[in-house]
Amino acid sequence: MNAALDGAEGQDQLLQTARAWLAQDPDAETRAQLRAVIEGAEAGDGAASADLADRFAGRLAFGTAGLRGELGAGSNRMNRVLVAQAAAGLAAYVRERAGAARTPTVVIGYDGRRNSDVFAQDSAELFAGAGLRAILLPRLLPTPVLAFAVRELDADAGVMVTASHNPPNDNGYKVYLGGADEGAQIVSPADAEIAAHIQRIADAGDVAALPRSLGYEIAPESLVDAYIDATAAVAPAPEGAEGLRWVYTAMHGVGWETLSRILDAAGYPPPVPVEQQLDPDGAFPTVAFPNPEEPGAMDLAFETARSTNADLVIANDPDADRLAVAVPDPHAAGGWRRLTGNQIGLLLGWRAARLAREGGAGPGASLACSLVSSPGLKAVADHYGLDFHTTLTGFKWISRAPGLVFGFEEALGYLVNPETVRDKDGISAAVAMLGIVTEARGRGESLARVLAEFDATFGFFASDQISIRVDDLSRIERIMAGLRERHPDSIGSVAVDRIEDLLEGVEDLPRGDVLRLWMADGSRVIVRPSGTEPKLKIYLDVRGDSVDDARARLTALTDGAHALLDEAG
What residue segments make up the domains of the chain, in order of their start?
13-57, 62-219, 220-457, 460-568
Where residue 412 falls (left for φ over 0; alpha for ψ -120 to 50; beta otherwise) is: left
At the topology level, CATH places domain 62-219 in: Alpha-D-Glucose-1,6-Bisphosphate; Chain A, domain 3 (3.40.120)
Q: Which residues pair with 552 in a beta bridge?
A: none
- 208 neighbors 123 (Cβ within 8 angstroms): no
Average pLDDT of span 206-229: 97
- Of residues 75, 123, 164, 399, which has the active-site annotation? 164
In this prediction, residues 335-344 reach a mean pLDDT of 96
**Residue 77 and residue 71 in contact, taking contact as beta carbons nearer than 8 Å:** yes
pLDDT (average), residues 371-397: 95
Q: Structure pTM?
A: 0.94
Q: In which band, very low, low, confident or very high, does the pLDDT at 2 lie, cut at 50, 70 and 90?
A: very low
Residues contacting 101, CB < 8 A, separation 6+ = none
pLDDT at residue 20 tops 70: yes
Which pLDDT score is estimated for 5? Answer: 39
Decide if pLDDT at 569 tops 70. Answer: no
How far from chain centre, in Å, is Cα 93? 24
**pLDDT category, 240, cuts 50, 70, 90?**
confident
Please give the helix or strand (H or E) that residue 388 lies within, else none.
strand 387-391
- Give the residue-averaged pLDDT of 242-266: 97
What is the tens place of the pLDDT at every residue in 301-310?
Answer: 999 999 999 9
Average pLDDT over residues 14-33: 96
Predicted pLDDT of residue 486? 86
User: Which of 513, 501, 491, 496 is CA-nearest to residue 564?
Assistant: 491
The answer to whether residue 1 scores a pLDDT higher than 70 is no
Distance CA 512, CA 392 (A): 8
> Residue 541: which residues within 8 A CB-CB, separation 6 or more?
374, 375, 461, 462, 463, 523, 524
Angle between helices 255-266 and 426-442 (to 10 degrees): 40
Mean pLDDT of 506-516: 84
CATH class assigned to 220-457: alpha beta
- Neighbouring residues of 443: CB distance < 8 A, sequence distance ≥ 6: none
How buried is residue 440: exposed, middle or buried, by Cβ count under 10 Å (0-12/13-18/19+)? middle
Does residue 123 carry a catalytic annotation?
no
- The answer to whether domain 62-219 and domain 460-568 are alike in fold is no
371: β partners: none
Residue type, 216: Y
> Cα dist. 1→5, 6, 49, 471 in Å?
6, 9, 21, 33
Helices assigned H by DSSP within 466-546: 473-485
Buried b / exposed e over 456-489, threshold 16 CB at 10 Å, is eebbbbbbbbbebebeeeeebeebbeebeeeebe
Mean pLDDT value across the chain? 94
- Closest listed residue to residue 292, CA positions, set 141, 451, 441, 412: 412
CB distance 195 to 177 below 8 Å: no
- Give yes or no for residue 445 having a pLDDT over 70: yes
Does residue 9 carry a pLDDT above 90? no
Given phi > 0 = left and psi -120 to 50 = alpha, else beta, which region is 44? Answer: left
The pLDDT of residue 6: 57
Question: How does DSSP classify residue 320?
Answer: S
Question: Which residues have CB under 8 Å from 13's CB, separation 6+?
Answer: none
Q: 300 and 277 in contact (C-beta within 8 Å)?
A: yes
Residue 116 to residues 80, 286, 301, 467, Cα–Cα distance (Å) = 10, 20, 26, 28
Q: What is the mean pLDDT of residues 484-491?
A: 90
Pick the CATH number of 460-568 from 3.30.420.280, 3.60.40.10, 3.30.310.50, 3.40.50.720: 3.30.310.50
Rounded Cα distance between 7 and 520, Å, is 55
Query: What mean pLDDT do residues 393-418 have?
Result: 96
Consecutive H or E run containing 543: strand 535-544
pLDDT reported for residue 4 = 42
Q: Say yes or no to pLDDT of 405 above 90.
A: yes
